[in-house]
Amino acid sequence: MAVYDFKVKNIKGKEEALSDYAGKLLLIVNTASKCGFTPQYDGLEKLYQEYKGRGLVILGFPSNQFLAQDPGSNDEISSFCRLNYGVTFPLFSKTDVRGETADPLFKFLSDAAPFQGFELDKEMGRKIQSVVKEHYPENLEGNGIKWNFTKFLVGRDGEVKARFEPTVTPEELKPIIEAAL
């Protein structure tokens, strides 16, 4: 099974086959509009603008599962991203990314790229681990997504290559993306 086997709903609610992105390098990110990591939208858009001509596509999946940090409608989320961060990369409908209600795509991604831990050498890594431990201690178990802005790099062949936790910034991904392109 590959990422291309999945269908998802775009931000307008229309079903899209991820096979439409075959041959592209994908960065799949679960996002939120009211999170401490929300400014990463800016870095993600910059990556997209810099590398889309070489085959990178960023796919944003808003989720409201972590402290209700994306409570708006799909239209509100789309407007927020466009107006505040100039987002032009594809956005998808608000999606559950973990637990029993998780979209099958995110179950697949989490299984294909297991959780390796937070970057505890970074202040934000320690902070996010503390927040998850306080509010969602069950999230620390298993490979499910732990928080907003978890990123999955998917190769041109549709295979999951790597997982990056929220503290890994888009800027830090530049050399990894360049090597994968």
The CA distances from residue 12 to 43, 109, 158, in Å, are 24, 23, 24
Q: What angle do CA 104, 108, 112 make, to 5 degrees?
A: 175
**DSSP code per residue over 36-61:** TTTTHHHHHHHHHHHHGGGTEEEEEE
Give the burial class of 41: count Cβ atoms within 10 A of its Cβ; 0-12 exposed, 13-18 middle, 19 or more buried: buried
Query: Which residues participate in catalysis according to the annotation?
Result: 35
